[in-house]
Chains A and B, each alone.
Chain A
Amino acid sequence: MYTLSNRLRLFSIICMVVGAVGLMAGFATSPDSIEDVKQQLASHDDHGGGHAEVKTHDDNSHDAKEEHGGDAHYEHILHQLQNKPWASLYIAAFFFFMIALGVLAFYAIQFAAQAGWSPVLFRVMEAITAYLVPGGIIMFVILALSGFHINHLFVWADPEVVKHDELIQGKSGWLNGTGFIIRALIFLGGWILYRHFAVKFSRKQDEEPTGNKWYKKSFKISAGFLVFFIYTESMMSWDWIMSFDPHWFSTLFGWYVFASLFVSGITVIALMTIYLKSKGYLEFVNNSHIHDLAKFMFGISIFWTYLWFSQFMLIWYSNIPEEVTYFITRIEDYKLPFFGMLVMNFIFPLLVLMNSDFKRINWFVVMAGVIILCGHYIDIFNMVMPATVGESWFIGLSEISAVLLFLGLFLFIVFRALTKAPLLAKGNPYIEESKHYHY
């Protein structure tokens, strides 16, 4: 049995408190009115640097424009700055939620494929998916707030905007607050339901392994879940991510988000396994298991790149105005995160994890894993930020605080869930094979 160390508990609580305070400060310092925006930009000018004010400089030099649309411009900036803490909160909440979801999909695949190597890691995976419930509730609350226009995250939720926007009007059959909430409820409900029964059956199988009755049930619900998952994950990506840009659409977006969440989930399994093994809790895990996880990290990183590039290149090549604006705003305003994430999510894992021997070295896998996780945070950042805060982005107080807040929550819930069951799923019919797994 795993016991939660006090240091870890303290660390996660400190993360949560610091994150919560920082995020509240982020909300408090976001401007309330156009006057605030003008003041903030003016004081920024004194310090020099930043880029939002460079834009205003350009505008100031055109006097005609200043007189004509000056306040409209500041109102635009105001909305962006007001969105900033909300968007940071949303990105961090989604990022940690998607890790748990990716692990859940990986877990179901291991059952459906009757994998012989992974059963020793099942309890680690079950613990990570424990975050699905609180993380899902938080996601739901944020989505409900945004879907009914408490904040400005989704433009399609603003009736004023929709009134003048025929494109969004045409999509309002799908993009409306009520439907949005109902769909979120179905997605989250289905995923949490599978998680609940999969864990329950896995524990029952430990108590009563003869006949593999519970294992067979796990197998069946996993196969069913995977069908449900791939539909709902796709729709989830339209609702929760793609609808930030309601004028834009892409057909492989669901897969793209899936690759991102899948590789993050696998990376977290690897990191957790290495951590627990280093603390002496997983003596039945050998470096062949780590090697396999690292192979998955490597392969799915390249799969992610393949989808990223397929989406980017098709749109870049055809250059149709209504599609290409998506990438033009990202390349113009987010050059470093947009291309930096490619280095972190593709080139780095490609070169580091290609060698078979390196995949067995713990610190190599940890280093690659941390870079991959940061890269996929930036991936989500790139999907959400351009549509919500535009060129006023910055990775500052509210972004880092939001990550800390959810990191603390994630660690706390996951490691507390680890204490609930023995770390070896001993009733699993493949457990002996898995213990002696050697590659």
Chain B
Amino acid sequence: MASRVIHALYTDDDVLMDAVKKVRSERYHIEEVFTPFPVHGLDKAMGLPHTRLAITAFMYGCVGLSVAIAMMNYIMIEDWPQNIGGKPSFSFLENMPAFVPIMFELTVFFAAHLMVITFYMRSRLWPFKKAENPDVRTTDDHFLMEVDVANHDVEKLTSFLGDTGAVEIKIVEKDNH
């Protein structure tokens, strides 16, 4: 079903922030906001929930630590406990200081890389992905707010958006499948 959205373009991030607050207080639904750079406090003004990326990173770090411990315990202690330069390979704990650099690095490695991959997947970013850019100017110096028309009066909505300082307003038919 095709739905209609309004694209309102702004040229200043302060104006955009005010507009977002006004649109929200009038209970119109903001589909998306496109900006050329991070605007501080925009997520809060839009009422977006906090990211849970840090929590995933912590869990990935725990996985990395477990992998390091299991790997070195198996290789150095259980499978072939050789005497290498007099290092005590009788138990994991006795030889642990020598394993700490690897445990640390693997924790960081897992936490960092898996979190980045999680980020790519959650924000749907990959090579050859088709760019979802509604207006090329939003990567340079324009800010674009996409407001859902739904059952609202289009005339009223466009004039309201014009009052918030939008420099350009377009009504777009969107094909969502």
Chain A contacts to B: CB under 8 angstroms: 309, 312-313, 316-317, 319, 354, 356
Contact = CB atoms under 8 A, between A and B. Distances in A.
A356 B51 CA distance: 12
A319 B86 contact: yes
12 contacts: A309-B97, A309-B100, A312-B97, A313-B97, A313-B98, A313-B100, A316-B97, A317-B97, A317-B98, A319-B86, A354-B58, A356-B54
Contacts of A319: 86
Contacts of A309: 97, 100
Interface of B: 54, 58, 86, 97-98, 100
Contacts of A316: 97
> What 8 pairs between A and B have smallest CB-CB spacing?
A313-B97, A316-B97, A317-B98, A309-B100, A313-B100, A317-B97, A312-B97, A354-B58
Which among B58, B97, B100 has the greatest number of chain A C-beta atoms within 10 A? B97
Main secondary structure of the interface of B (DSSP, over half): helix
Contacts of B97: 309, 312-313, 316-317
Contacts of B98: 313, 317
A317 B54 CA distance: 35
A313 B97 CA distance: 6
A193 B100 CA distance: 43
A354 B86 CA distance: 38
Contacts of A356: 54
A312 B97 CA distance: 9
Nearest to B97: A313
A95 to B, nearest CB: 27
A308 to B, nearest CB: 11
B135 to A, nearest CB: 32
Contacts of A354: 58
A325 to B, nearest CB: 17
Given A309-B97, A309-B100, A354-B58, 9 more contacts: A312-B97, A313-B97, A313-B98, A313-B100, A316-B97, A317-B97, A317-B98, A319-B86, A356-B54
B93 to A, nearest CB: 11
Nearest to A313: B97
Contacts of B86: 319
Nearest to A306: B104
